[in-house]
Structure 1
Amino acid sequence: MAKTRMTQHRLKPEALSRDTPASWVPFRTTRDLPVANDCAGLGRALEAVETGLKIPTRGYNIFAVGEPGSGKTSALERILRERAAAEPVPDDICYVYNFDTPDRPLPLMLPPGTGRQLGKELERMYTELERMIPRVLSQGAFGHIRSSITADSKRQLDALISELSAKAEQLELTLEESDGLMRVSPLYRGRPLEEAEMENLPARTRQRFEDRMMAFQEHMDIFAYSRRLLEIDHEQRMVAAETRTVAPLVAELFAGLLKTFKKLPPPVRQWLDQLQQHCADNYRNFVTVEEVGEATNGQPELISDAEPASDTDARAQFHVNVLVDRTNETGAPVVLERVPAPSNLCGLFEYRETAGALSTDHTMIRSGALHQANGGYLLLQATDLLSHENAWNSLKRSLRHKEIRIEEGMGQSERPRLAGALKPGVVPLNVKVILVGSHDIYYLLKTEDDNFYRLFKILADFETSMPRTRENVLRIAQFAGTACREEGYLSLHRSGVVRLVEFAARRAGHKERLITRRAEILDLLAEANVIAKAAGAKAIRKEDVEQALADQHFRHGAIRAAVSREIDAGTIMIRTQGEEVGQINGIALYDVAGTVFGTPVRITCRTYVGRRGVVNIDREVELSGALHDKGSLIMIGYLGGRYARQVPLEFSASITFEQSYDEIDGDSASSAELYALLSALSGVPIRQGIAVTGSVNQLGEVQPIGGVNEKIEGVFDVCQRRGLTGKEGVLIPVPNVKNLMLRRDVVEAVKAGQFNIWAVSTIDEGIEVLTGCKAGKRRANGTWEKDSINDRVQQQLERYVQSMRSFIHA
């Protein structure tokens, strides 16, 4: 019976892996295949992306989730660039001087490529105005006009001076002009007196002159007032004349500009009108102080107090700061921002140092990723975004209000000392943002931030695997071939493709699935290519891929090798031969820095009289996690439901993972613990050459676990080093059979009858394989088949109850 049971549950070699049919790889090398132009296995995610891209409504941005290396970013970038290529090129984005509010630079949107051209034309116009305005004001007909105005003003000034001199003579005073100032002195005996001489005059004479000078001061005040009015009149007449002369020149230049740029948006034309008016009103910005003096024939006393603006200020008013230049671009922009700090998203100010402080103007505004992506698509990594302070808030604010706002000090930990402050006008935002991140980040933002779902309504979930179909095998081959072309690798031989597909299935953990984490495939190709070239091969073959995998296994195997040495030396005590009551080999799965491997671990169980029930030693000393504790409690439920229908469970048992000093978690060893307990209660020994994995539920059903391939191979390696006898093997849950993609040497050992893999669905099936004894069925009267495992367990539990009661009543 035992042999029948073991044979019944033993898996055939063909169940341990899956080969790829030759008809699925109908080519010699991947050079025969077309370039990959789609993303295999990403249908659900790509459909979500397409939906998000089609909806222009605010809030339909996309959050793409998936594991690292699953091809999210590369797939999204390809889709976005293909879509963007058919869309119109958005406007240039510029900032210009705001004549109404100078501290609020004005944003302008211009047709693609127009910003740079307009900036060059205005620069040329400024140079032309600098050259032409002084020439117009110093040559030709305007010279006569200026001379006439100046002569008329001088005649009026001379008349005022003559009138004032007459008043002075009446009071025996003399009037002298020096450096534009009028000096009054008394006349004594026909000559003017110096101030020192005044002190030597007789008191009555000195008093008389002082009274006259005081009386004359009223005439001086009237003269000063009249002279100032004359100067103002002169300035106004001169400005009016200059303006009438300059205005046609300015108008002509701007008319030529508008002929060059015929299709400018209304806001741009309005700003150009303001600039034209500003030039006409402030034409002296284009004239130096020396040129002003020359233009007025050396009559500084009749020149306005106003001076020309500095060349830097005047030129800046003409400067078009092109933040985003779409010259020579085709289609909508696709921007990948690798460092999404607030300043890199929304833009920033540059500064110049002035008198110990920092100053800036509209010419020093710099664009951010939102400016560059405006009218197109912005692709961001969520982890990068959240790692920069205030970056997430800046992005949310921009998307919520559909505008890009640049603020001084954005992205700076300390606000600089500024001379004046700018608050640029906002730029209208029209962008589709795609965030790429993990499931954890997505659910964290959705839970903690009320605005998140309002802004990112589309979830694109990139799955880690795809069905193992002929179509998808060809897609993996095309992907690998395209990667080889792009990287300059050898092409991939069909045998190499078959091994690559096996690798993809193994990493997917399923015979009928293939991994979609392209990074792992690319890494494997890179290493296999070096091996193939070193061997002088013309293509990457199966053996090259095998060697690359072996090299990876070796490089990452330091911890695995250390554990193996401890087992081989007997330091970690593992039995693989004989039989033992209450002892079984479970399988531990290690995942250290991405290296996953399995190794057998000894589980022991002792039972005795008592009422403590099943005591898990690892749980008692707090070396077990919640999932392991759950598995232990489920085991107690199984015992109660099966063996305590008429009598209570009154016994004590202790179970532990021997030589385990780190925390244990997971319930994949719960079936092994239960087998050890049943062995201890029944007194039936367990074959030590069989290791066990699988969780159990309260109904006694064996449930699937993770890492089944690594666990089997870990046990196989230990047994192989000790010498295979054909009695060794691993007991796994039936649902895990579909996950088997074992190494070739394991499969060959099973074919040769040197190693075994059994699959069971229930604890009863498993205990029969482990002990060779019949588990036994419950009879109609509630008892078990005589001498079966279940019968022996039931009898032992009842003896414990009787012993406990006898002890209590003794």
Structure 2
Amino acid sequence: MAKKKTSEVSLEDLRWSLDPGTLAFETTEDLKPLKGIIGQKRGVDALQFGMGMDRPGYNIFVTGQPRSGRMAAVKKVLKETSQKKKVPNDLCYVNNFKNPEVPILLSQRPGLGKELRKDVHGLVNTLKTEVPRLFESPDYISRKKGIMETYEKKTRNFFTGLEKKVKEAGFALVNLQSDQQIRPELMPIVDGKPIPILELEQKVDKGRFPRKEFEEIRKKYDELRQEVDQIFLEVRGLQKEVEEKGRKIDRLMFKDLVSKQIGSFAEKYKDKSVQQYLQAMIEDMSENLHFFLTQDQQRKPGMSMFPAGDPFASYEVNLLTDNSGQKGPPVIIESYPTYRNLFGSIERIVDRSGIWRTDFSKIKAGSFIKASGGYLVFNLMDAIMEPGVWPALKRALKTKKMEIQTYDPFYLFTTSGLKPESIEMDTKVILLAEPYLYQLLHAYDHDLKEIFKVRADFETSMDKTDDTISKFAEFIRMKTEDEKLRPFDKTAVAALIEESVRMSGWQEKISTSFPQIADLIREADYWAAQDGQAKIQDKHVDKAIETRVYRSNMIEGRLQEMIDRGTLMIDVDGEVAGQVNGLAVYNLGDYMFGKPSRITASTSMGREGIINIEREADMSGNIHNKGVLVLSGYMRKKYAQNKP
């Protein structure tokens, strides 16, 4: 039988090497820093398409292996393309004075929301000072005095005729204190003294006062009592009328004062919703003028452990998003994507009665709302583990609306719930995840196809060409400049490119794991510093690679020791029938290595061999079956070579 011809790989072909002489520079200082992104044309094109596609559902799902430079590429593309869009409006929540449980949303042009909050706060502070002065002014006192004089005159006229009539009938009007109020009581005069009618009736029962005379007094009492009650009803009506006139004057003078203070607001805030809010606020203030007149009592420190509520808090503006300092649309990278951080919450406080309460000022925005009109980037694996995040994200992207609520199991204990006005959303979401997570969601969640229509898939390697080698050198230049590291000479660049080719696993490719390559650049700079060199050379790159391997290859070293001792037997010379050498690749996460393994096959005479009853009856496990099969192979080779 002819021996099969085999081909051998030469030692030179096992590893690709780069001649430093082919590089057209001496050090990386001769190069310009890299401006674009290399090796990710497919992913970058998809990112640019998704960012430019301003249609519903065209959010971006970035897939790729960890440490493939996905986040750095997304940041760079966002920086280049996001400035083309306009700055979004500011968002504010204000009190709904008619229905406080439904706060009103105001949308203002960038910077105007901050000014509105400042102007309203300044108006309230001014009124705190001016309103008490207004009610101490001579004009106000004169008006109130005129009303009171009219009231006293009419009241005097009522009582002048009544007192005369009561006196002629032998009665007197006596003021009695009852429940912190003074009420007039009609009493007959007996022996020159007013006596309550009930006390006089008791004297009649005891025979100390004539009954006939009492009955006459009682008859006159009933007639006068009815007339007195009627007069006092008219006096109370007059009193209410005076009080209403007083409140009306208070409101008129207050509104006149406020109109002078907010004269410039009409020109500055032309939005109809803002004008309606200001009118509603002024109307509510005019109905609660006692807030301004009891400030000193509110400031007094109390003994309660709970803070007292500020009555003026309902007139503040809750600035949800402030885009006054933005030059383009917001770009937010959320590194901790919990429900609260992404979608906001409604905070609560404990009032003096120990009850949880909340209001519009406790509404807080999350990253999803702050990024409205711009871009939100986060890692899906971090977010999908958080309760409620994925359903809320899908709901917001499908409806393009967001209603802030608190995801909190203890929120049921609050006595007041808010339903803020929903926010129209225009946020472009960019998710980062590994390919398997995208495939799982694509198979089991049909909403994914509707809300993430763009996939940007990032490569783990790129073609090895003269252009990519040149760009790789420019990348090294960019990193050394950004982090103020030592420059690489051409030998160091060549060594790093060779290592990058080895990392890709193909001699025709260069790895795009730029975060890992950047770590090698930093470590090579460290070893150059230890060596006292001003430039990084190939030996420093080799040292960085060797020390990185040494830190992680303890298991490989132990296996090699077992081979050297003969514990693990590997034949490397000669030929043996039914035996070959194989290579098992171990992946330890941060380090991969190959371990030689002996693979043998043996034959024997016969058919069934040893029967494993437990295996046939499905009563054994994998380990037991493997042991029996190994034993069976040994016994076949040992005892079944000449006879079955």
Q: Does 1:255 align with 2:263?
A: yes
Shift of 1:593: 3.3
- Partner Cα separation in structure 2 for residue 207 and residue 485 of structure 1: 115
* Structure-1 separation of matches of 2:241 and 2:296: 22
Once the two structures are overlaid, the 10-residue window that deviates more, 486-495 or 501-510, is: 486-495
For 1:567, the equivalent position in structure 2 comes to 563
Deviation digits for residues 729-786 of structure 1 (CA, Å, limit 9, x no counterpart):
xxxxxxxxxxxxxxxxxxxxxxxxxxxxxxxxxxxxxxxxxxxxxxxxxxxxxxxxxx
Q: Which residue of 2 aligns with 1:230?
A: 238
Q: After the TM superposition, which residues 695-706 of structure 1 pair with which residues of structure 2 at under 5 Å, given as runs?
A: none
**How far apart are the structure 2 equivalents of 1:522 and 1:174?**
105
CA distance in structure 2 between the aligned counterparts of 1:471 and 1:289, rounded to whole angstroms: 75
Distance 1:122 1:318 in 2: 8
Out of 506, 526, 540, the residue aligned to residue 522 of structure 2 is: 526
Q: How is 1:471-490 mapped onto 2 (pairs within 5 angstroms)?
A: 471-490=467-486
Residue in structure 1 matching 2:135, options 134, 137, 143: 137
Shift of 1:528: 1.5
Is residue 396 of structure 2 the alignment partner of residue 412 of structure 1? no
Q: Which has the larger radius of gyration?
A: 1
State the match for 2:581 in structure 1: 585
Shift of 1:508: 0.6
CA displacement 1:707-746 (0-9 Å, x = unmatched) = xxxxxxxxxxxxxxxxxxxxxxxxxxxxxxxxxxxxxxxx
Q: What secondary structure does 1:601 align onto?
A: strand
| Structure 1 residue 148, shift from structure 2 partner | 1.3
Q: Does 1:380 align with 2:382?
A: no
Query: Equivalent residue of 1:590, what SS?
Result: strand
For residues 562 and 289 of structure 1, the distance between their equivalents in structure 2, rounded to whole angstroms, comes to: 80
Shift of 1:60: 0.5
- Aligned pair count reads 611
Match of 1:241 among 249, 252, 263: 249
Paired position in structure 1 for 2:272: 266
Q: Look up the match of 1:286.
A: 292
The alignment yields a C-alpha RMSD, in angstroms, of 3.2
Change in Cα spacing, 1:235 to 1:69, as seen in structure 2 (3 Å) is same
Once the two structures are superposed, residues 90-115 of structure 1 have per-residue CA deviations (whole angstroms, 9 ceiling, x without a partner) of 11111111123211111111121222
State the alpha-carbon separation in 1 of the partners of residues 537 and 200 from structure 2: 120
**In the superposition, relative to structure 1, how do residues 289 and 109 fare at CA in structure 2: closer, same or farther (>3 Å)?**
closer
Stretch deviating more after TM superposition (49-58 or 200-209): 200-209
1:185 to 184, 187, 192: 187
Q: Which string of whole-angstrom CA distances, capped at 9 and with x for unpartnered residues, describes residues 661-685 of structure 1? A: xxxxxxxxxxxxxxxxxxx9xxxxx
Deviations 1:382-406, CA, capped at 9 Å, x for gaps: 0011010001111111111112211
Q: Which has the higher contact order (CA 8 A, sep 6+)?
A: 2
- The answer to whether the aligner puts 1:433 opposite 2:429 as a matched pair is yes
State how far apart, in whole Å, the 1-side matches of 2:358 and 2:392 are. Answer: 22
Return the letter of the residue paired with 2:342: L
- Residue of structure 2 in register with 1:63 after alignment: 61
The 1:423–1:381 alpha-carbon spacing in structure 2 relative to 1, beyond 3 Å, is: same
- In the aligned structure 2, how far is the partner of 1:83 from the partner of 1:21? 38
Instruction: State the one-letter code of the partner of 1:319.
Output: E
Q: Is the CA contact 1:602–1:657 (under 8 Å) kept in the aligned structure 2?
A: no
Match of 2:445 among 436, 443, 449: 449
Post-superposition shift, 1:335? 0.3
What is the one-letter code of the residue matched to 2:333?
Answer: L
Superposed CA deviations along residues 595-626 of structure 1, whole A, max 9, x for unmatched, are: 2211221222222223469x9xxx999769xx
Report Cα offsets for 1:540-565 as digits up to 9, x if no partner. Answer: 21111111111122111111111111
The separation in 1 between residues aligned to 2:294 and 2:540, in whole angstroms, is: 79
Structure 1 letter corresponding to 2:105:
P
Change (3 A) 1:578 1:243: closer
User: 1:327 aligned to 324, 327, 334, which one?
Assistant: 324
Q: Is the Cα contact below 8 Å between 2:20 and 2:490 reproduced in 1?
A: no
1:202 aligned residue (199, 209, 212)? 209
Q: Partners of 2:111 and 2:490 in 1: how far apart?
A: 50
1:75: Cα distance to partner? Answer: 0.9
| AA aligned opposite 2:332 | V
Q: Partners of 1:470 and 1:127 in 2: how far apart?
A: 69
Q: 2:14 aligns with which of 13, 16, 22?
A: 16
Do the aligned residues in 2 keep the contact of 1:604 with 1:656 (CA within 8 Å)? no
1:341–1:388 Cα contact (<8 Å) kept: yes
Q: Structure 1 CA distance, aligned partners of 2:161 and 2:397?
A: 75
* Rounded Cα–Cα distance in structure 1 between residues aligned with 2:19 and 2:264: 74
Counterpart amino acid of residue 323 in structure 2: R
Distance 1:328 1:202, change over 3 A: same
8 Å CA contact retained: 1:251, 1:276 = no
**Residues 469 and 657 (structure 1 numbering): CA distance in 2 closer, same or farther, change over 3 Å?**
farther
Q: What letter is aligned with 2:61?
A: F
The equivalent residue for 1:643 is none
Partner of 2:123: 125
* Conservation of the 8 A alpha-carbon contact between 1:199 and 1:206: no
Gapped regions of structure 2 (runs ≥ 5): 298-306
Name the TM-score, length of structure 2 as normaliser. Answer: 0.87
Distance 1:444 1:430 in 2: 27
Determine if contact 1:35/1:482 at 8 Å carries over to the other structure.
yes
Q: Distance in 2 between matches of 1:155 and 1:455?
A: 77
Give the aligned partner of residue 318 of structure 1. Answer: 315
Per the TM alignment, residue 41 of structure 1 is displaced from its structure 2 partner at its CA by 0.8
**Which residue in the other structure is 2:281 paired with?**
275
Residue 499 of structure 2, aligned match among 503, 507, 531: 503
| Aligned residue in 1 for 2:34 | 36
Q: Distance in 2 between matches of 1:90 and 1:522?
A: 36
The separation in 1 between residues aligned to 2:368 and 2:73, in whole angstroms, is: 21
Letter in 1 for 2:235: R
Aligned partner of 2:331: which letter?
A: V
User: Aligned partners of 1:597 and 1:498: how far apart in 2?
Assistant: 24
Q: 2:188 & 2:120 partners in 1: Cα distance?
A: 61
Give the unaligned 5+ runs of structure 1: 292-309, 629-653, 660-679, 681-799
Q: What are the superposed Cα offsets for residues 202-247 of structure 1, whole Å, 9 maximum, x if unpaired?
A: 2615555455444433234323321221122112222333333332
In 1, Cα distance between equivalents of 2:210 and 2:489? 127
AA matched with 1:346: F
Q: Secondary structure at the match of 1:184?
A: strand
Q: Distance in 1 between matches of 2:497 and 2:420?
A: 56
Per mean C-alpha deviation after superposition, the further-off stretch among 584-593 and 274-283 is: 274-283
Secondary structure of the residue that 1:415 maps to in structure 2? helix
What pairs up with 1:146-157 in 2 under 5 angstroms? Answer: 146-157=144-155
Determine the structure 2 residue equivalent to 1:601. 597
Q: CA distance change for structure 1 residues 3 and 10 in 2, over 3 Å: closer, same or farther?
A: farther
1:702 matched residue in structure 2: none
* In 2: Cα distance, 1:220 partner to 1:65 partner: 91
Name the CA distance, whole Å, in 1 between partners of 2:595 and 2:476. 34
Superposed CA offset, 1:316-364 (max 9, x none): 2320111211222211110011121112111112222111111111112
Letter paired with 1:503: E
Report the alpha carbon displacement of residue 517 of structure 1 after superposing the two structures with TM.
1.1
Structure 1 CA distance for aligned equivalents of residues 329 and 175 of structure 2: 73
Aligned with residue 350 of structure 1, among 344, 347, 363:
347
State the one-letter code of the partner of 1:193. I
Q: Which amino acid aligns with 1:542?
A: D
Q: Distance in 1 between matches of 2:338 and 2:542?
A: 44
Q: For 1:279 and 1:567, how far apart are their aligned partners in 2?
A: 89
- % same residue: 27
Tell me which of 542, 545, 557 is aligned to 2:538. 542
